[in-house]
Amino acid sequence: MILSRKLQVKFVLQYMLNTVIMDIDNTLLLPNSEHKSDIKTPFLIGVAGGTASGKSTVCKKIMIQLGQADMEQAQRQVVSISQDSFYRELTPAEKAKAKKGLFNFDHPDAFNENLMYDTLQEILKGRIVKVPCYDYRSNSLDHENKLTIYPADVVLFEGILVFYFPKIRDLFHMKLFVDTDSDTRLARRVPRDINERGRDLDAVLTQYMTFVKPAFEEFCSPTKKFADVIIPRGADNTVAIDLIVQHIADFLNNRSRYGSSTSISTYCTNVDHEHGNFNGIGFRDPDSFMAIRRYSSLCNELNMKDNVYFGKHQNMTHH
């Protein structure tokens, strides 16, 4: 029986996310392993995509659906961080250029790669960190009003180049790419930059054609190949968002039931069908093992072209 396209998407994404979101101590039994610490190691999700593609909106919808958006920062199980907080400090000359729309904020050199990496490392160690907010009107970081990030179970890190830097890309347990067509992105960027960032139309269009569009094609778009899941139409794709939310909720429920762990792993290959092992790891729950088997078969049979794409290059065995 052939499933409808929507059911195919839901079925495959369900099992794909099961493999990516499973916490090692919640669903897997490692040989000779013991619970050595109660440190809360978050499940780190990277959310990439072009400017105004809907990255922050996707993260916001995930937070809202999980009931996290209106909670106190210290009580949240899911938090979202913007890569914009890691723009490097501009020199006076660069600030003068930025004021005229002549500085390229979409180039990798605009970001403080080392600070970004060090901060994510601290987050993965379950430590409290403080990150500045970026002031788009003054093109500077607001160090007086830093956002405090408390230890959480799930951390969403979104930005145009979150997959560009290899050492940062390798930190993510799951990678999402929000794929929205360029016309839609430009149509969103123009009113946003005018109304929220105090820029005029000519400056917005000049900056887009001079820096934003070329940088997307050179630096951002090529990182799509690193994504585990590609979400077409961005925040308008409710099917993909609902399923991601569902599985994050499952992850949170499992962690609440079994407790925090010090490591999280993903496994998608080398299934030992006879003994219930996956990459040399034994499953506590036979249903989880069967889910991996079904997912492995489905990935070879189905090529989804509607609500979600899967990164075919990934075997997701390295986390």
Q: Are 150 and 76 in contact (CB under 8 A)?
A: yes
Each residue of 97-141: pLDDT tens digit?
A: 988 889 999 999 999 999 999 999 999 999 999 999 998 888 889
> Is residue 239 one of the residues assigned to a domain?
yes
Q: Which residues contact 98 (CB under 8 A, 6 or more apart)?
A: 90, 105, 139
Residue 71: which CATH number?
Answer: 3.40.50.300
CA–CA distance, 156 with 149 (Å, rounded to integer): 11
DSSP letters of 59-115? Answer: HHHHHHHTT-TTS-GGG-SEEEEEGGGGBPPPPHHHHHHHHTT-S-TTSGGGB-HHH
Tell me: the pLDDT tens digits for 123-133?
A: 999 999 999 99
Summarised one tens digit per residue, pLDDT across range 249-291 is 999 998 877 665 433 443 333 334 444 443 333 334 444 444 4
Q: Is residue 247 within 8 Å of 291, Cβ to Cβ?
A: no
* 165 occurs within a structural domain: yes
Q: Does residue 153 form part of some domain? A: yes
**% of the chain exceeding 90 in pLDDT:** 55
Cβ(231)–Cβ(58) under 8 Å? Answer: yes
Is the residue at 317 inside a domain?
Answer: no
Q: Is residue 200 part of a domain?
A: yes
Q: Does 262 fall in a domain?
A: yes
169 in a structural domain: yes
Spatial distance between the Cα atoms of 23 and 19, rounded to a whole number of angstroms: 9
What integer pLDDT is reported at residue 196 of this predicted model?
87
Please state the domain count of the chain: 1
Q: How many Å apart are CA 58 and CA 92, to the nearest integer?
A: 35
Q: Does some domain include residue 113?
A: yes
- Residues in the chain predicted with pLDDT less than 70, given as ranges, are 1-40, 258-319
The residue segments making up the domain with residue 115 are 5-310
Closest to 18 measured CA to CA, from 174, 232, 233: 174
Q: Is 212 helix (H, G, I), strand (E, B) or coil?
A: helix
